Amino acid sequence: DMRKALSSMKSLAVEYERAGKPDKVKQLEDAVQELVASYEDCAYLAEAVKKVPGAYQPSDQATDFRKLIDAEVDKVKGTSRSSGHKDQLIRQFKEAVWDVHHAGQPMPGDEQEELVMTSTQNSILNMHCPLTLKPIVELENPVRCMDCRHIYDKDPIMSHIRRSKAPNCPVAGCPAVLQVARIFCDTFLRMEIEELRSSRPSAPNATEVEDISDQGEDEAEDLMDDDEDE
């Protein structure tokens, strides 16, 4: 849902930029910043709530769960690699607007930055499940090890762990010891995979991504018409 919203807002901003309405573009950029930040906060909270059962210590005194959850949120933020992904989403919005009048030219600051890798590439360490060799963009149930950050197909990796005693990660050279409790689909994994999928020209779901973009453009045109009527 957030991707659809961002796509619609990006398409609308492009139309406003073409129409010479920079104030409207700025309002949308601010809204995108708020949307992405809100999503990230919700993702941190969801991840922290999952960890509460393991962190809870029964005692004679009443437990301050708000304090417990806040502490877990701080831990999640300290170990999360999501902030780069947030920056990438915002950057995509700005690039779409910039390309309206400066297609093919680098955005201000790119000359110094030299984009080496996108946040998605930084977050996704392996492009195929090491057991099935299936591309991760095609996995129906992707999971990630919280220790080494490698991604697997859920059923094969769980079967591998149950068959073996404290197996190492099947990615060549990875020393991580796998535990069922440390492997799951974390909050940002599906979003990172979807971002990777949409960035690939030959992506299996390119049609689906195109449909979302088309829907965003249609909604943008409707909103532009409403704005002109006002």
Whole-number pLDDT of residue 228: 56
Q: How far lies 92's CA from each of 82, 99, 118, 218, in Å? A: 16, 11, 11, 19
- Edge-to-edge strand ranges of the sheet holding 151-153: 151-153, 142-145, 183-184
In this model, does residue 4 exceed pLDDT 90? no
pLDDT reading at 211 higher than 60: no
The predicted-structure confidence for 218-230, as pLDDT tens digits, reads as follows 555 555 555 555 5
For the chain, give the mean pLDDT: 78
Q: With 50 as the cut, is the pLDDT of residue 108 above it?
A: yes
- How much is the pLDDT for 19? 94
pLDDT tens, residue by residue, 50-83: 777 877 778 788 878 888 888 888 877 766 554 4
pLDDT at residue 113, rounded to an integer: 44
Q: What share of the chain is helix, strand, coil (3-state, %, to 5)?
A: 65, 5, 30
Distance CA 217, CA 213 (A): 6
- 13-46: per-residue pLDDT in tens? 999 999 999 999 999 999 999 988 887 787 778 7
The secondary element (H helix, E strand) that includes residue 74 is helix 65-79
169: phi > 0 → left, psi -120 to 50 → alpha, else beta; which?
beta
Q: Take residue 169 and report the two structure tokens written for it.
A: 């990660």
Q: What is the pLDDT of residue 17?
A: 94
User: What is the structure's pLDDT at 210?
Assistant: 41
Residue type, 164: S
- What is the pTM for the complete model shown? 0.50
pLDDT (mean) for 155-175: 92
In the prediction, which pLDDT does 81 show? 52
**Three-state SS at 150:** coil
Please report the pLDDT score of residue 97 as a whole number.
Answer: 92
Domains of the chain: 1-101 (no CATH), 122-200 (3.30.40.10)
Give the residue, 132 or 186, on which the prediction is more confident. Answer: 132
